[in-house]
Amino acid sequence: MAQSTETSADSSAFLQRRVGWFGLVAGGLDFAFLIFRLVGARSASDIMHPSMLTHAGSCVCLAAIWIALRGATRSVAWIRAVETTGLVLASALLVRMGMYLSLEADPPRIVVMALAVVHLARAIYVPSSARRTALISAMTGVVIVVMVFEVNQRVNLEAFQAFAPGVAGLTPVRFAGYLAADAGAWWALFGSLAAAASRVIYGLRKQVGKIRELGQYHIEAELGSGAMGIVYRARHALLRRETAVKLLPPKRAGEAAIQRFEREVKLTARLKHPNTVTVYDYGRTPDGMFYYAMELLDGATLEQIVSSTGPFPAGRVVRVLEQAAGALAEAHELGLIHRDIKPANIMLCNQGGQMDVVKVLDFGLVKDLKGDGPHVTQENSITGTPLYMSPEAIRSPASVDARSDLYGLGAVAYYLLVGDHVFRGGSLVEVCSKHLHEIPQAPSARSAHPLPEALDRLVLDCLEKQPERRPQSARAFLESLARVNADPWDRSQAEAWWREHGSIARASGVPATGTGKTIQVDLELGRSP
């Protein structure tokens, strides 16, 4: 019930803003038209003419909509009442204005055009069904037709023939009926356009509204997007727990995409390590959108942090690698290969009072050595991020195993120590070529600070071209890491860093799109799928 109340309040606030903007914009346009007429006035009597006064009255009615809806959020009934009253009064006054204009000015056309601008502005700004817009337009149209008929059946046709010879022979009633029908036809055209605009805009609004409710989760804001979906900040309806919800939009929901999306959540849910992002729930909306809910993280990716604050001290790098390697060790022992280890897929968080908690993210490209078929994992494709891709992932994608993830982890360690990627190049092909053939420069040669020799050697071991020359498992990596003699990164240092840089680190709770962009290139087709 609390959620429904919040949702209703959000809808009312949105409607109030939109109706208020309509009053401001339509009133401004109407006032500009009035100024144009005043500039053309030739005397004080023209300025005080009843057509000017009724025109000014319509401007006041529209502006009153904006004024009445400023301030605290009102109920939907109040907002609609203000909108309808202001619009009806403004329309009536514009119609009345036309009744005071001379026949030479062609008042029906002026009135229809002025009201068309007002009603089209309403269709654009105000969330409204096509039916409601059509009803309001029809009511206004009746007033227009009646006004034109009443005014013109009293016209002096003999005098009017001086500039409209075509009226000769018509009776006043037939003449008035002709003009009323003409005005009605023009208004029907504009009214139809207004209704069509409302239908399109209102339909889009309803479609967005559907996305705001996913099962038990209320969507609050978009956090980011990637190859496998869009991530939103959400809140559970009953638990009131903030959550990150990953959604597969309908336009991406082909059979293969759905299989990979379902596979991602199922594989991630198998991982229980504290340094792997936790999956809470999985579901499908009535209209076919797939989603899953995971923990919302308070922190930022390694890519975001290094780009903002620079390289890490060696002790902190060791602490990050311990946690990331622990998460990978669990995955590898279950037969899962991440295939996209990079700084943008590892977050550093403040969780439960613990600083520098690592979370390994985005298992959308995981390879399951025990259960995947080629139709799911796309073995005939290069998959990963070129700046962090192992040589075998480039040369022979089907052969990647746990040691490919360790190559990526070594490249992440390099980035943390140096503040730059292992290799750079002007193109994807150049970067991949360097991973295949170029020997990387030692991190110690590029770091501004001395590095422990054992850490320098371990990073280079992970970046060996041949998998058999790297650590053979995440457990073996952890054993080598334990022998690194680096100044420890303790709790007091972590707390001091978070006090100084917490505002930078607490980003969106999801990885940002950066220089390390994930690709998937189909080798059989020679293109990105």
CA distances (Å), 288 to each of 44, 294, 527, in order? 66, 20, 29
Rounded CA-CA distance 418/115 in Å is 66
Nearest to 180 by CA among 79, 236, 99: 99
Nearest to 119 by CA among 218, 187, 168, 216: 187
The answer to whether 240 touches 232, Cβ cutoff 8 Å, is no
Nearest to 281 by CA among 294, 271, 290: 294
Q: Count other C-beta atoms under 10 Å from residue 108's C-beta.
A: 24
User: To which residue do tokens 């036309």 refer?
Assistant: 98
- Pure H helices in 75-129: 76-100, 107-125
Phi, psi for 348 (deg, rounded to 5): -115, 120
Rounded CA-CA distance 470/462 in Å is 5
The answer to whether 125 touches 25, Cβ cutoff 8 Å, is yes
Which amino acid appears at position 139 of this protein?
M
Q: Count other C-beta atoms under 10 Å from residue 307's C-beta.
A: 16
Give the side-chain half-sphere CA count within 13 A for 132. Answer: 12
Phi, psi for 264 (deg, rounded to 5): -60, -50
Here the tokens at position 72 are 């605290």
The answer to whether 342 touches 516, Cβ cutoff 8 Å, is yes
Q: Show Cβ contacts of residue 408 under 8 Å, excluding neighbours closer than 6 positions.
A: 338, 340, 341, 342, 384, 388, 389, 390
Active site residue 340: yes
Which amino acid appears at position 43 of this protein?
S
Here the tokens at position 476 are 């073996």
Which amino acid appears at position 431 of this protein?
V
User: To which residue do tokens 């009605």 refer?
Assistant: 184
Rounded CA-CA distance 455/486 in Å is 8
CA distances (Å), 269 to each of 100, 142, 261, 265, in order? 74, 63, 12, 6
Rounded CA-CA distance 503/501 in Å is 5
HEC profile for 387-453? HHCCHHHHHCHHHCCHHHHHHHHHHHHHHHHHCCCCCCCCCHHHHHHHHHHCCCCCHHHHCCCCCCH
Q: Show Cβ contacts of residue 441 under 8 Å, excluding neighbours closer than 6 positions.
A: none
| Active-site entry in 340, 362, 405, 456 | 340
Axis crossing angle, helix 453-462 with helix 402-418, rounded to the nearest 10: 140
Active-site residue numbers? 340
